[in-house]
C-alpha cells in the first residue's frame, strides 16, 4: 500500500511539471492553452523575442554567396549574360579636343565636274538598251542608247567628224595651258567634257554599220535624268540623258548671317539625313569649297563642303548639319547615344563593378552630332555604357533583379 502511494505521488508531480507553462511565456503571447510535451528552451530565451542564437553567417544558398554579393542603394544589376543577349558596349570617359559647332540645315547637291549631259550624235529614232533607266549605274564607255539614223545621216557624220577635229585641237591646247597655270581647272574640265562628247560621237559612227549609232556614257556613275522616251525622233544635239559621278558629293549649307565671321574658320561638318544616317566630312576627305560673301533675301549665307560620296544619299536630300569651327578646346566628351533624357534631365549609366551600374545625372553642353560635351556629372576614368543603354535603363526601371536579400 505504501509502495502504491509513493508511485501515485511521483506520477502526479511529473504530470503537473509537464503541463505547467507559467514559467514559459512570450510577452503579449498567451500560451496557457498550449501543451508542450518535452519542449525544452535551454539557453533559448524568448524574453523580448531574442534571436541572438540565429546566426545568418551560416545561412547560404547553393551557388550564391550573400556575404560577398552586396549592392549599394539605387544600383542596377546587369550581368554579363544579360549584356550578351544584345548590342552592348562600354567606354572609359576621357578629356578630348572638342570644336564649337553651328547647328543649321543643308541639301545634297551635285558637283559641277560630276555631271555631264549626253546629246544625240545624229538625227533619228531613239532606242533604249534593256538596262536604260533613271538611277541605273553605268560604266564609262558603255552603251546607254542607240540612234537609228535617217536619210540625213551623211550630213550628220560630216558634222560629227568636224566637231571631233575642233575639240581635239582645243583639248591639246588646254593640256599645254593648264601645265603653265594659264587657265583654271574649271576651264580645263569644261574643255575635257566637250572633247569627250565629240570623241564618243566620232567613235560611235566609226564602230557601227551606219544604220544605228551607239550613244555611250562618257564616265562611270549613275543616270540622273532621261530627257527622251524610247522611240522618240530627235535632232542631232538633242539632250538625251545626264550622267552623274558618284565619287565626290557636295552639301550646300544655309548659315545664319550672324555667323559670317565664323565661315572662314569652319573645317568640317557632320550631317544627318532624314533617314537618321550620320556622315562626318572629316572622315570622308571633306573640305570647304566656298562660302558666300553676301546675304540672301532670307537672311542666310551659303557654304559648300565637298566630300567622298558614299553613294547612298540621293541628290536634293535635306539634312541637319553641325558645322565645326576651328577653335577646339579640351573637355570631357561622350558619344551622343550614351545619354538618355527624362523630363528635361539628362543621364548616363556608370559602371561601378562587374555587373552593377549607377544612373548618373549629367549637365550637357554642345554637340557636334556625334559627341556631346559634358559640363558636370562625370570624371575622366569612369566607365559608361555606350551601347545597350536602354536595356540597362529597363533593368533599373523594372527592378527585375533585387538589390537586397531578406531571410
Query: End of a domain among 281, 303, 327?
Result: 327
**What percent of the chain stands above pLDDT 70?**
74
Q: Are 139 and 225 part of one and the same domain?
A: yes
pLDDT at residue 181 in the model: 80
Q: Are 139 and 207 part of one and the same domain?
A: yes
Q: Are 281 and 134 part of one and the same domain?
A: no
Q: Are 221 and 233 part of one and the same domain?
A: yes
Confidence label for 152 from pLDDT (cuts 50, 70 and 90): very low
- The strand pair at 137-138 and 356-367 is best described as unpaired
Domain CATH for 182 = 2.40.50.100
Q: What element of type H or E holds 392?
A: helix 389-398
Q: Encode pLDDT of 181-223 as tens digits.
A: 888 888 988 999 899 888 887 776 655 445 688 899 988 888 8
Name the CA radius of gyration of the chain, rounded.
42
Confidence label for 163 from pLDDT (cuts 50, 70 and 90): confident
Q: Are 261 and 228 part of one and the same domain?
A: no
Q: Are 262 and 153 part of one and the same domain?
A: no
Domain CATH for 264 = 2.40.30.170
Q: What element of type H or E holds 168?
A: helix 153-179
Query: End of a domain among 291, 307, 327?
Result: 327
Q: Are 270 and 388 part of one and the same domain?
A: no
What's the domain count of the chain? 3
pLDDT at residue 201 in the model: 75
Confidence label for 109 from pLDDT (cuts 50, 70 and 90): confident
Range of lowest pLDDT (132-141, 204-213, 261-270):
204-213
**48 within domain boundaries:** no
Q: Are 122 and 217 part of one and the same domain?
A: yes
Q: Encode pLDDT of 72-92 as tens digits.
A: 667 899 998 998 999 999 999
**236 within domain boundaries:** yes
**Domain coverage including residue 379:** 76-98+330-398
**153 within domain boundaries:** yes
**26 within domain boundaries:** no
Contact 98, 373 (CB under 8 A): yes
Angle of CA points 40, 46, 50, to nearest 5°:
125
Exposed, middle or buried by CB within 10 Å (0-12, 13-18, 19+), for 352?
middle
Range of lowest pLDDT (39-43, 144-148, 220-224):
39-43
Q: Encode pLDDT of 225-260 as tens digits.
A: 899 999 888 888 899 998 887 678 899 999 999 999
- The three grid cell numbers given for residue 9, joined into one nine-digit string: 505521488
CA distance 369 to 101: 9
Residue 104, helix vs strand vs coil: strand
Give the residue among 88, 210, 200 at the shortest CA–CA distance from 144. 200
pLDDT at residue 37 in the model: 44
**150 within domain boundaries:** yes
Q: For residue 260, what are the CA distances in angstroms to 263, 300, 306, 376?
A: 6, 9, 20, 31
Angle of helix 185-206 relative to helix 153-179, nearest 10 degrees? 150
Res 150 pLDDT > 90: no
DSSP 54-70: --GGG--BTTB-TTT--
pLDDT at residue 335 in the model: 93
pLDDT at residue 220 in the model: 85
Range of lowest pLDDT (15-19, 149-153, 294-298):
15-19
pLDDT at residue 112 in the model: 66
CA distance 142 to 220: 9
Give the residue among 249, 288, 279 at the shortest CA–CA distance from 370. 279
Q: Are 158 and 231 part of one and the same domain?
A: yes
pLDDT at residue 95 in the model: 94
Domain CATH for 341 = 2.40.420.20
Give the residue among 318, 257, 313, 385 at the shortest CA–CA distance from 107. 318
**297 within domain boundaries:** yes
Average pLDDT of the chain is 78
Handedness of CA 205, 208, 212, 217 (dihedral sign): negative
User: Does the pTM of the predicted model rise above 0.85?
Assistant: no
**282 within domain boundaries:** yes
Q: Encode pLDDT of 6-37 as tens digits.
A: 444 444 444 444 444 334 444 444 444 444 44
Q: Which of 55-64, 136-145, 385-394 has the highest mean pLDDT?
A: 385-394
Query: End of a domain among 327, 349, 371?
Result: 327
Q: Are 237 and 140 part of one and the same domain?
A: yes
CA distance 246 to 310: 8
pLDDT at residue 370 in the model: 87
Segment 283-312 mean pLDDT? 88
pLDDT at residue 156 in the model: 57
Q: For residue 97, what are the CA distances in angstroms to 235, 280, 381?
A: 60, 16, 16
Q: Are 142 and 229 part of one and the same domain?
A: yes
**227 within domain boundaries:** yes
Q: Are 191 and 211 part of one and the same domain?
A: yes
Amino acid at each position: 500500500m505504501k509502495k502504491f502511494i509513493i508511485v501515485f505521488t511521483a506520477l502526479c508531480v511529473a504530470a503537473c511539471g509537464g503541463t505547467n507553462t507559467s514559467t514559459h511565456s512570450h510577452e503579449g503571447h498567451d500560451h496557457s492553452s498550449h501543451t508542450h510535451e518535452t519542449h525544452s528552451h535551454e539557453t533559448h530565451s524568448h524574453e523580448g523575442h531574442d534571436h541572438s542564437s540565429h546566426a545568418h553567417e551560416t545561412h547560404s544558398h547553393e551557388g550564391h554567396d550573400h556575404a560577398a554579393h552586396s549592392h549599394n542603394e539605387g544600383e542596377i544589376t546587369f550581368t554579363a549574360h544579360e549584356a550578351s543577349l544584345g548590342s552592348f558596349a562600354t567606354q572609359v570617359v576621357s578629356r578630348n579636343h572638342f570644336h564649337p559647332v553651328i547647328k543649321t540645315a543643308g541639301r545634297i547637291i551635285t558637283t559641277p565636274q560630276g555631271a555631264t549631259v549626253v546629246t544625240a550624235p545624229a538625227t533619228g529614232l531613239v532606242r533604249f538598251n534593256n538596262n536604260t533607266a533613271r538611277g541605273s549605274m553605268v560604266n564609262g564607255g558603255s552603251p546607254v542608247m542607240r540612234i537609228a539614223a535617217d536619210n540625213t545621216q551623211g550630213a550628220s557624220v560630216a558634222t560629227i567628224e568636224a566637231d571631233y577635229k575642233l575639240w581635239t585641237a582645243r583639248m591639246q591646247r588646254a593640256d599645254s595651258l593648264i601645265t603653265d597655270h594659264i587657265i583654271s581647272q574649271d576651264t580645263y574640265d569644261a574643255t575635257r567634257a566637250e572633247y569627250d562628247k565629240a570623241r564618243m560621237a566620232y567613235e560611235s559612227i566609226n564602230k557601227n554599220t551606219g544604220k544605228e549609232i551607239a550613244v555611250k556614257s562618257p564616265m562611270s556613275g549613275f543616270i540622273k535624268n532621261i530627257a527622251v522616251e524610247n522611240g522618240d525622233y530627235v535632232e542631232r544635239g538633242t539632250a538625251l540623258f545626264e550622267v552623274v559621278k558618284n565619287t565626290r558629293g557636295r552639301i550646300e549649307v544655309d548659315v545664319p548671317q550672324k555667323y559670317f565671321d565664323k565661315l572662314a574658320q569652319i573645317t568640317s561638318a557632320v550631317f544627318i539625313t532624314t533617314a537618321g544616317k550620320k556622315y562626318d566630312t572629316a572622315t570622308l576627305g571633306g573640305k570647304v569649297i566656298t562660302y558666300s560673301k553676301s546675304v540672301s533675301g532670307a537672311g542666310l549665307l551659303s557654304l559648300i563642303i565637298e566630300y567622298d560620296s558614299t553613294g547612298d544619299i540621293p541628290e536634293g536630300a535635306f539634312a541637319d548639319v553641325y558645322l565645326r569651327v576651328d577653335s577646339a578646346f579640351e573637355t570631357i566628351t561622350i558619344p551622343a547615344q550614351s545619354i538618355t533624357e527624362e523630363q528635361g534631365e539628362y543621364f548616363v549609366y556608370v559602371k561601378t563593378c562587374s555587373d552593377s551600374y549607377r544612373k548618373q545625372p549629367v549637365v550637357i553642353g554642345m554637340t557636334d552630332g556625334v559627341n556631346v560635351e559634358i559640363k558636370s556629372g562625370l570624371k575622366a576614368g569612369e566607365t559608361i555604357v555606350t551601347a545597350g543603354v536602354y536595356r540597362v535603363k529597363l533593368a533599373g526601371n523594372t527592378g527585375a533583379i533585387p538589390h537586397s536579400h531578406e531571410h
